[in-house]
Amino acid sequence: MRFTVADARTDPLPAAGYDLVVTNFFLDCFRPLELAAVVDRIAGACAAHAVWVDGDFRLPTEGWVRPVARGLLAVMYAFFRLTTRLSAHELIDPAPLLAALGFAQVAEETQLRGFLSSRLWVRGAGADATGHG
Ligand SMILES: C[S@@+](CC[C@H](N)C(=O)[O-])C[C@H]1O[C@@H](n2cnc3c(N)ncnc32)[C@H](O)[C@@H]1O
């Protein structure tokens, strides 16, 4: 096993054909254009049938929890922007980017009424088996 510390926005990723990617509370660190570039670069280093596990905060789609989650996210982003060099201002759902790169969401587990989610994506798996976009 090899660990590398690098900036995911700029570090050249080897065309290694990775078969597993795990991005837990990572993709929420990027602004929209950065996120698109990072997802594109990681996907470019993946194998044709790669599996991608993405766990992160999500904005719930409906109900009272949605405005509460929106408020919590605003406070969290303000805090992390103050205390770290985080450039992102808001949570961007990477789902459309992954789907556009040929990944299909095949499972999702959620907690806190959808505020926390872990999604399983498989490249080349065809239709979204969860029914989510
Ligand atoms: C909220 S932490 C999550 C850490 C870990 N994945 C976890 O779930 O505990 C976000 C991580 O993303 C890393 N990170 C943020 N921007 C990055 C970048 N441009 N390149 C590489 N790592 C980055 C941070 O250093 C931090 O370790």
**CATH number, domain at 91?**
3.40.50.150
Is the confidence at residue 49, as pLDDT, over 50? yes
Which protein residue has the closest C-alpha to ligand 1 atom 6? 24
Question: Of ligand 1's atoms, which has the minimum distance to the CA of residue 34?
Answer: 19
In terms of residue numbers, what domain contains 35? 18-123
Residue 5 lies in a domain: no
Residue 10 lies in a domain: no
Distance 100 CA to ligand 1 centre (A): 24
Is the confidence at residue 23, as pLDDT, over 60? yes
More confident residue, 126 or 78: 78
Contact by Cβ (8 Å): 57, 68? no
Residue 133 lies in a domain: no
Q: Return the pLDDT at 133.
A: 44
Residue 71 lies in a domain: yes
Residue 1 lies in a domain: no
**Gap between the Cα atoms of 115 and 65, Å rounded:** 8
Is the confidence at residue 2, as pLDDT, over 90? no
**Gap between the Cα atoms of 58 and 47, Å rounded:** 27
Predicted TM-score (pTM) of the model is: 0.91
What's the whole-number mean pLDDT along residues 67-86?
A: 96
Residue 118 lies in a domain: yes
- pLDDT tier at 127, thresholds 50, 70, 90: low
Q: Return the pLDDT at 1.
A: 83
Q: Return the pLDDT at 126.
A: 73
Which residues form the pocket of ligand 1, taking CB atoms under 6 Å from any ligand atom? Answer: 7-9, 24-26, 29
Is the confidence at residue 78, as pLDDT, over 70? yes
Which protein residue has the closest C-alpha to ligand 1 atom 11? 26
Residue 37 lies in a domain: yes
Contact by Cβ (8 Å): 61, 114? yes
**Gap between the Cα atoms of 113 and 80, Å rounded:** 23
Q: Which of 29, 35, 84 to mutate to test the pocket of ligand 1 (most atoms within 8 A of CB)?
A: 29
Count how many domains the chain has.
Answer: 1
Residue 46 lies in a domain: yes
Which protein residue has the closest C-alpha to ligand 1 atom 1? 25
Q: Return the pLDDT at 125.
A: 79
